[in-house]
Amino acid sequence: MFPKNAWYVACTPGEIDDKPLGRTVCNERIVFYRGPEGRVAALEDWCPHRGAPLSLGRVVEGKLVCGYHGLEMGCDGRTVAMPGQRVRGLPPIRAYPAVERHGFVWVWPGNAAKADEALIPHLHWADHPEWAYGGGLYHVKADYRLMIDNLMDLTHETYVHATSIGQPEIDETPCTTKVVGDEAITSRFMHDIPAPPFWRMALRANGLPDDQKVDRWQICRFTPPSHVMIEVGVALAGHGGVEAPKDKKAYSIVVDFITPETETSMWYFWGMARNFRPDDRALTAQIRDGQGKIFAEDLEILERQQANLLHWKGREMLKLNIDTGGVQARKVIERLVAAERGAAAA
């Protein structure tokens, strides 16, 4: 269950620089490529001639040329040319609104008439000289909402990520959740605790001592359809926590774009935006590698959780206090899906 009238992250620009990319988003099989003037284009991954995937073709002068019989597609889904053949009568294929922005390629898998680029989330850290970003992509065989649940309830860090970012104080500190419009926000503030390994590294990278008690915060923000941005950080204890002056804290934004592939699989774009030593590429690589290892620890849990949900069909998951963030996010999703269905029925 996912809304289709929404902007999803489909890929990173680098994935389509050299050749077309076939990727399924919300059950839509789509080919992404760079059309005229290098602009991103997205079409059904179906050649109108014989149904071969266009993603096996190549781009020539902004046109997507089918790798089977050379049919040339325009980015509007119409056939532009075909060797020895008039193409005016050929049926068009579906074109999807697609935009490159903030270092990602965004796609709107639903009703194109409703696609509004203004709805693409503004990422203040992207394209900003004081910030650096590094991230990666995982394919996960699980309902994308299980990943939202995961990210909106960080008590799992204590167990799944015990050796890196987990610590018992996460568990012991209650979180609070509020809903503002379509946004769900779960926050947790921990005071006067030891810093776990990842944050000791970050303190050092910020020129701060790594052996002192800290205040730590986690502010998880879900926005539809399935983005979760998490403000995370530590400040030397007693300097105001999240409000501490810049030279007393280390912080960053955990970036999660969770794109449904099918009902039971997802493309998980994860990363971290930081505003310290933004030009230090080695640090970016180091953080990305570390984060990649940590986030990989969730995958087996989620895939096996999905397998259990399919085995025990109809069995409900509990909705406890710690689950409130995920529960509220799912409510937003359900509302959007219901609205789409209502609009489709009307």
Residues that bind a copy of itself (CB under 8 A): 29, 45-46, 48-53, 56-57, 65-70, 82-85, 90-91, 149, 153, 155-156, 158-160, 168, 171-174, 300-301, 304-305, 307-309, 311-312, 315, 317-318, 320-323
Q: How far is the CB of 251 from a copy of itself (least distance, A)?
A: 24
Q: How far is the CB of 285 from a copy of itself (least distance, A)?
A: 29
What CA–CA distance (Å, rounded) separates 268 from 225? 13
Beta strand 183-193 with 214-223 is antiparallel
Paired residues of 73 in beta bridges? 64, 79
Helix (H, G, I), strand (E, B) or coil at 74: coil
Nearest partner of 152 among 341, 38, 320, 313, judged by Cα: 320
What CA–CA distance (Å, rounded) separates 185 from 205? 28
Sequence-separated (6 or more) residues with CB below 8 Å from residue 73: 43, 47, 48, 54, 63, 64, 65, 66, 79, 80, 93
Q: How far is the CB of 44 from a copy of itself (least distance, A)?
A: 9
Which is nearer to a copy of itself, 87 or 120 (by Cβ)? 87
**∠ CA 206-241-121, rounded to 5°:** 80
Which is nearer to a copy of itself, 163 or 308 (by Cβ)? 308
Q: How far is the CB of 322 from a copy of itself (least distance, A)?
A: 7
Q: How far is the CB of 89 from a copy of itself (least distance, A)?
A: 9
Which is nearer to a copy of itself, 265 or 286 (by Cβ)? 265
Residue type, 296: A
Which is nearer to a copy of itself, 68 or 138 (by Cβ)? 68
Which is nearer to a copy of itself, 18 or 116 (by Cβ)? 18
